[in-house]
Amino acid sequence: MAVSRPQTQVPEALRWGIHNPNPPDPALALILEFGTPSVRQAVLTGLARLNLATAQAQVELWTGVQRAMGQARGG
């Protein structure tokens, strides 16, 4: 979007788009409000898959580290 447009003539301290102090709802909320049922489902399923994959990768990583270091359960 245009906010990333170069503003070379504007001093850095005065450039547009540093931060919105009152941002709207998160993007996901907006998708859930307006997306079609299939879009919503795809987004949520995608997130779940992504999270699952990330979680599995992390578990594999950490169990590996655990084994390597001979640690007991933490936390």
Q: How far is CA 62 from CA 3, 41, 48, 50, 52, in A?
A: 40, 31, 20, 18, 15
Q: Which of 21, 18, 16 is nearest to 5 (CA)?
A: 16
DSSP code at position 5: S
Binding-site member from 20, 67, 68, 70 for another protein (CB under 8 A): 20
- Of 32-61, which residues contact another protein (CB under 8 A)? 32-37, 40-41, 44, 47-48, 51-52, 54-55, 58-59, 61
Report if residue 11 touches another protein, rule: CB under 8 A: yes
Residues that bind another protein (CB under 8 A): 1-3, 5, 7, 9-11, 13-14, 16-24, 26-37, 40-41, 44, 47-48, 51-52, 54-55, 58-59, 61-63, 66, 71, 73-75
